[in-house]
Amino acid sequence: MEAVVTTKIKLLPNEEQKELLLKTLKQMKDGLNFASEVAYENNCLAHSKKLQKLVYNDLREKFGLKSQMACNACNIVSGNYATEVTNETFSKVFYKNAKLVYSYGRDFTFAKNNLISIGTLEKRAKMPYVTKGNEKYFDGSWEFATSELKYKKGKFYLHISVKKEIEEPEIYKNVVGVDLGMRFLATAIDSKDNHLFWRGGKVTQVRAKHLNLRKRLQECGTKSAKRKLKKLSGKERRFMTNENHCVSKALVRFAGENSIIALENLEGINITTKVRDNENHFRYHRMSWAFYQLRQFIEYKAKLNKSIVVDVDPAYTSQKCPKCGHTHKENRNKDKHIFECKACNYKSNDDRIGAINLRQLGIEYHSRINKKEEQSA
């Protein structure tokens, strides 16, 4: 199985090289905004090839972009507008910062003596770099793919996508069921009945705060409010990404090597959760979480740990008794977060019940794999 990770290095250019990199980033940013303007005015929002016909020559002549950079600009703009259309948040896309994508071999390569050769608009620049804790990705066992150049607080960074084939284990020693939600972002149980509860209280409070602020800003409708709204969106994304990294790291560590992680799919689902307000009253909020991103993080970290993530159907997993199999919605008290089987009186936390049933689906998946392997042997 293939593991794909994004690692980061810090570039150490001299003054001349800094100017070359800054000029390249500026021209790319201006080219992106030009392409965005044309896409918006000509209603070719999610059509990269159509946009490329309209702007390619101008991107090359007016902004001095190289051929591949011009094509990348069209793909980036079209991709961003496709997201806007999908999320029904349609507005003209403006790029405050450049998005400069490089391909390994063609646009950047590594040389001897810890030097990197990277393309600019005028020429290739060879400069030193530091890996700063990411040395394991440069030991020769990882394959470099695409990268993105970023400039932040006067420093240049290259975010590089690296991939590696990880040998699949012959035997999976552990099966872990993971129930996702907002009260607990993740509830996990392994084959030995060990538990992991990742509380979502802080997450819920922050999301509710952002939700209320977003509503007030949208009602205001001023230019200042729109700027604050955009800033808030970035803050929300960073918060969710950081939290998802922490949750996925804890889950994979909990599962250990050679494990099957049975994960429900909650992509795009809004969850109603109860939040305490400033006056100590409880209110119900409908909010979403980046569960798809969380799954991606769990998946790639699991691969590095010689484990796999499998999709299982979450239907009725919070209503089915793991002891006697009786399934009914009355088994679960959502307000008190208690599961009590109406048939055998088995009682437990409802999130734990969901994780147990998901683990069982993971065990069944494992059994099916073993049977197929035995039949093909």
**Which one is predicted more confidently, 241 or 189?**
189
In the chain, where are the structural domains located?
2-165, 174-376
pLDDT score, position 211 = 75
Helices (H), ranges, the chain: 15-41, 48-61, 67-86, 201-220, 223-255, 291-304, 350-376
pLDDT score, position 106 = 92
Least trusted range by pLDDT, from 159-173, 258-272, 303-317: 258-272
CA 99, 103, 104, 106 dihedral sign is negative
- Stretch 119-133: mean pLDDT: 93
In which band, very low, low, confident or very high, does the pLDDT at 268 lie, cut at 50, 70 and 90?
A: very low
pLDDT tops 50 at residue 273: no
pLDDT score, position 183 = 81
Residue whose C-alpha is closest to residue 295's, from 159, 173, 180, 207 = 180
pLDDT tops 50 at residue 137: yes
pTM above 0.85, yes or no: no
Are the C-beta atoms of residues 347 and 338 closer than 8 Å to each other? Answer: yes
pLDDT score, position 248 = 94
Mean pLDDT over each residue of the chain, to the nearest integer: 86
Give the range with max mean pLDDT: 93-97, 113-117, 209-213: 113-117
